[in-house]
Amino acid sequence: MNDGDHKAADVTVRWPEVGVAALLLLIAGLVIADSLRVGIGWADDGPRSGYFPFYIGLMLAGTSAWTLVGQLLRWRRTTAVFADRGQLAMVLAVLWPMVLYVGLIAGLGIYAASAMLITYFMRRHGRYGWAPTAGVALGVPLFFFLVFERWFLVPLPKGPLERLLGF
């Protein structure tokens, strides 16, 4: 591996490692706290509800604390790369539209939101013209509409557009 003078554009695993371990520690805390609330001992009819999760929480806390402390102790020696900034930018360029997409499903229904997501990707990442973009962006939701609403009779989230069209 390289000896510390890695490129400035690289993000090391330090902060992500600490963040994930801390998150797990937090979850472990929630599990332990609620197990204590519902009881970790025995009732007349057997172990209480917190009996099993309590130890799960303890083990989760122990192992994530191990990772967290281990990372903090090795802070300066850590050179492993999480990703470089360009890669992270790419990941975020996909993640935000995804978050927005899920938000839009709730408001506009899944078909309209999907058409918008596909349009965004094809225009922004694929640099396609409007004609092929429109073909895919309209064709794919239409296909899923037929498969789910018509053939399998599984209703998917619909919005104002579908209501306008009478579904």
161 forms part of the interface with another protein (CB under 8 A): no
Expressed in percent and rounded to 5, the helix, strand and coil fractions of the chain are 70, 10, 25
Q: Which of residues 68-107 bind another protein (CB under 8 A)?
A: 70, 74, 78, 80, 82-83, 87-88, 90-91, 93-95, 98-99, 101-102, 105-106
Which listed residue (6, 22, 34, 158) binds another protein by CB under 8 A? 34
Alpha carbons 152 and 58: distance in angstroms, whole number: 45
31 forms part of the interface with another protein (CB under 8 A): yes
Q: Are strands 46-47 and 42-43 parallel, antiparallel or unpaired?
A: antiparallel
Cα atoms found within 13 Å of the Cα of residue 84, Cβ hemisphere only? 5
Q: Which of residues 131-150 bind another protein (CB under 8 A)?
A: 136, 140-141, 144, 148
109 forms part of the interface with another protein (CB under 8 A): no
Residue 59 or 72: the one with the smaller Cβ distance to another protein is 59
CB of 31 to another protein, least distance (A): 5
Alpha carbons 151 and 167: distance in angstroms, whole number: 15
Residue 6 or 51: the one with the smaller Cβ distance to another protein is 51
CB of 76 to another protein, least distance (A): 13
Handedness of CA 155, 106, 132, 87 (dihedral sign): negative
Alpha carbons 27 and 2: distance in angstroms, whole number: 35
